[in-house]
Structure 1
């Protein structure tokens, strides 16, 4: 009888297994959850920083529903280990696997997978450079003036950061406005690191971030052409008289500050004496250069005074003849 009913018994066993599986699945079914979590880096070499090509990844956990539901997002830790990278290079870049860590009590009952499974990691050395501060001006100075040399304190800054960023810096500059010239004590300006194209270099630290700047305004020399006005003293011997005079050159160009030149329209000479002269007088005479100016060219002019003999009155001629 037993031998003849084995088929029914096998069928009954299979039904029992199916029922057990179904009941067990209903009581504790399978489940799956996906978390988006940040990825950290560990074992970074001293004096280096590291960066991944993605800051977050997707982590999927699967298993019994009770175990899956017990996992919170904060329990999932994703990291990339950089201990295998060489420590003697300034820049290293390679693909490394992503590791997932969960609390040990629940990790054993779960299937864990990451997407992507690998990330591109870049480890780079940190460095620092001392750079002299230079000044640039927002606008041109007013007409007739120029900016003096800015007094900057401190004269340089220490810039630190990744070596590739430091290599881009060509100068550290402060931008100065003309209004600063009216401030006797100066003002603080931000120091900005720039590359050779004038673009700001990001991701570096500048110490100090600001520098005190004092700026002066210098009045630029101007030029003005003025006439030469000779100075005479004495008179020719009677009856000789001055017919005319000439000055060569008749005008000169002076250089000086605009405020000084504005009040000058002529330039005088040293005194030319005509006392007792009976004929034409020719003198090379120095100019009396006004204070705060200088002539462009020679400091002397030639003055020619044409003197005619004149004629004595008749009675004086008769007496002279006697």
Structure 2
């Protein structure tokens, strides 16, 4: 029985093999005619993988176009979301990195071309910094009143962001509007990171984002323009003399109670030593102010002119 079966298969074996090969070729020809391979393009976003913690990732290119090939029928069973492009940042370091774009496509698809084979990826460390607050007062209080002082509930805040952005922050500013108030009030003030030119710095997170400020208002006050007196002690070097001393500004508009202002005819600077000097003295100094007096600034610039004594001929 077995011999007869074996003989059946061996009979005309070359012809049978040729028939099978012909059938396979014919099947491939028919399938290629009925379901030929075609090319297509698909645009997909680039994802990042294995990004290190504590870094901001910036990619020069955010999407790529894939040119793919597959049997025509395969395109009917897939969606654009089935095609992926990504960069692996496992070996990336801070700064600029040239990373190869890798792809994932459905079974039966072949990637012929990636529009951008490599992308530049920049990693930048996220850092923190604690900064003091710069509270700016805007507007005016109501008639007959003045701002005595402000009391913030915090004197500092933390900023977080990419290293380059944090390094640009020169001031953390909050703006307090007086809004013609004549009594003490409280106000929520948002904190804004500014660079040295007064521009807002982006990519910065401020914690807390806002603070509460208590404004103390004085009532029954008046204003008076009072000259500033430069006070100094000591003597210049031998053969040198003081030729003059002026403050800038020379006068200040001060605010205070009527009876207090009535007795104020000048405002003294803090004492400045000129012992042994041989040239002009230029510096910023504090003002000596009595309690309850409000001025735009408690510091002024002074110049003490020093001249050399001319010898007799």
Retained in 2: the 8 A contact 1:180–1:215? Answer: no
TM-score (norm 1): 0.58
Task: Give, in angstroms, the shift of residue 121 of structure 1.
Answer: 0.3
TM-aligned CA distance change 1:181 to 1:19, over 3 Å? same
Task: Give, in angstroms, the shift of residue 110 of structure 1.
Answer: 2.4
Task: Give, in angstroms, the shift of residue 293 of structure 1.
Answer: 2.9
State the SS of the aligned residue for 1:179: coil
| Distance (whole Å) between structure 2 residues aligned to residue 173 and residue 295 of structure 1 | 34
TM-score (norm 2): 0.60
| Distance (whole Å) between structure 1 residues aligned to residue 158 and residue 112 of structure 2 | 47
Task: Give, in angstroms, the shift of residue 35 of structure 1.
Answer: 1.9
1:132 and 2:101 are equivalent in the alignment: no
| Distance (whole Å) between structure 2 residues aligned to residue 29 and residue 173 of structure 1 | 67
TM-aligned CA distance change 1:152 to 1:21, over 3 Å? same
For residues 110-259 of structure 1, the aligned pairs below 5 Å read 110-139=110-139, 147-179=147-179, 181-182=181-182, 184-217=184-217, 219=221, 221-222=223-224
* Number of the residue aligned with 2:104: 101
Residue in structure 2 matching 1:35, options 42, 45, 55: 42
| Distance (whole Å) between structure 2 residues aligned to residue 158 and residue 220 of structure 1 | 40
* Number of the residue aligned with 1:296: 265
Deviations 1:91-134 (A, max 9, x none): 3102211111134xx1x542353211111100111111111111
Deviations 1:58-107 (A, max 9, x none): 12221211223332111112111112223xxxx3102211111134xx1x
1:26 and 2:33 are equivalent in the alignment: yes
| Distance (whole Å) between structure 1 residues aligned to residue 225 and residue 183 of structure 2 | 30
For residues 43-58 of structure 1, the aligned pairs below 5 Å read 43-58=50-65
Task: Give, in angstroms, the shift of residue 21 of structure 1.
Answer: 6.4
Residue in structure 2 matching 1:76, options 69, 79, 83: 83
| Distance (whole Å) between structure 1 residues aligned to residue 105 and residue 28 of structure 2 | 28
State the SS of the aligned residue for 1:57: strand
Retained in 2: the 8 A contact 1:158–1:208? Answer: yes
TM-aligned CA distance change 1:135 to 1:180, over 3 Å? farther
Q: Which runs of 5+ in 1 are unaligned?
A: 1-15, 225-254, 261-289, 298-322
Retained in 2: the 8 A contact 1:132–1:155? Answer: yes
Deviations 1:6-33 (A, max 9, x none): xxxxxxxxxx999876633331112223
* Number of the residue aligned with 1:314: none
Retained in 2: the 8 A contact 1:67–1:110? Answer: no
TM-aligned CA distance change 1:174 to 1:23, over 3 Å? same
Residue in structure 2 matching 1:92, options 72, 92, 95: 95
Retained in 2: the 8 A contact 1:191–1:210? Answer: yes
TM-aligned CA distance change 1:63 to 1:56, over 3 Å? same
Task: Give, in angstroms, the shift of residue 181 of structure 1.
Answer: 4.4
Higher mean C-alpha displacement, 159-168 vs 25-34: 25-34
TM-aligned CA distance change 1:49 to 1:18, over 3 Å? same
TM-aligned CA distance change 1:166 to 1:138, over 3 Å? same
Task: Give, in angstroms, the shift of residue 176 of structure 1.
Answer: 1.4
Q: Which runs of 5+ in 2 are unaligned?
A: 1-22, 227-252, 267-313
Q: Which has the larger radius of gyration?
A: 1
